Amino acid sequence: MYHVHTNKHRTFRVSDDLPYTAPLTMTDIAPNLPRIVSRDEWLAARKELLAREKELTRLRDALVADRRRLPMVKVEKDYVFEGPDGKATLLDLFDGRSQLMVGHFMFHPDWEDGCPSCSAGADEMSQGHLEHVNKRDTTFVYVSRAPIAKIQAYRAKKGWTFPWYSSFGSDFNYDFDVTLDESVKPVVYNYRTREEYEARGEPWPATRGEALERPGRSCFLRVGDAVYHTYSIYARGLETIGGSYYMLDETALGRQEDWEEPRGRAHSVRGNTPDFAT
């Protein structure tokens, strides 16, 4: 069933299952919207920004080249995972390709469902996306610490088709700093220690006496049967794949989160939790 909402500009039909949000009006937020200018003035401003965008693109190209120049570390430990077809090694996860990307999906063994923010990112991991990286000799999989039965149940519930493995009972999550537990090893997240977080005035992403799951992404290279760790990224660095955030970054209202500038532009804002629940 739908309700019909009418204002002087438009009529909106909204399902009973969905909250109704009134449209933006110039009266509400005009002081915070982009300035209204002539086409010529807009074009001049756009060209000025384009020069900066091109500079950023060149800087990003240089950064990515430096990323490819990073040294690599041989993986000496024999990690064992569990997938839908049983036990698997890290080498098995490559599925015969030269490169492996592992999405560290937050899913504690005690949870019934996976992390909402990780789930939002996984929603954007389309079959076409996976097929494209496969064509470039690269396999993408998710790995979580939850047992495989919980992973398979949640995967079916969400309708996902990507490969997803359990690292339950192995050191994999701890070694790649996505399960933080001071009783297992000194805690480091995003390459920083507790002291470094505190020195920067940032909250420490771990709790004493608890195993905390954190998100990340790691890359591996296969040379014969030897596996090498080439790269890992955490925190906001993870938003570079998927695409919703970068799509919204091109709009006037942006991500509509409470940290963005200019302030007060969006009709409603939310925190920076990347679960896309609102």
Structure confidence by residue, pLDDT tens digits, 128-176 = 888 988 988 899 999 999 999 999 999 999 999 999 999 999 999 999 9
pLDDT greater than 60 at residue 96: yes
Contact yes or no for 120/243 (Cβ under 8 A): no
Surface-to-core class of residue 40, CB atoms within 10 Å of its CB (0-12 exposed, 13-18 middle, 19+ buried): exposed
Are 84 and 213 found together in one domain?
yes
Q: Note whether 99 and 234 are same-domain residues.
A: yes
189 lies in the same domain as 228: yes
How far, CA to CA in Å, does 8 sit from each of 11, 12, 25, 131, 275?
8, 11, 11, 47, 34
Is residue 119's pLDDT more than 90? yes
Whole-number pLDDT of residue 15: 47
Is the domain of 45 the same as that of 93?
Answer: no
User: Is residue 96 domain-shared with residue 156, that is, in the same domain?
Assistant: yes
Kindly state whether residues 87 and 166 are assigned to the same domain.
Answer: yes
Among the ranges 7-21, 23-37, 83-97, which has the highest mean pLDDT value? 83-97
Residue 14 clears pLDDT 70, i.e. is over it: no
Structural domain count, the chain = 2
Would residue 161 count as lying in a domain?
Answer: yes
Pairing between β-strand 179-180 and β-strand 212-213 as defined by DSSP bridges = antiparallel
Q: Is the pTM of this model over 0.75?
A: yes
CATH number (domain holding residue 145): 3.40.30.10
Q: Are residues 50 and 161 in the same domain?
A: no
- The pLDDT of residue 5 is 44
246: CB partners within 8 A, 6+ apart: 239, 240
Same structural domain, 54 and 115: no
CA distance 217 to 265: 33
**84 and 172 part of one domain:** yes
- Judge whether 170 lies within some domain: yes
Average pLDDT estimate for 220-247: 86
How large is the angle between the packed helices 116-123 and 148-158, nearest 10 degrees?
50
> Do 53 and 106 lie in a common domain?
no
Helix (H, G, I), strand (E, B) or coil at 31: helix
Handedness of CA 46, 47, 51, 54 (dihedral sign): positive
Parent domain of 57: 40-65
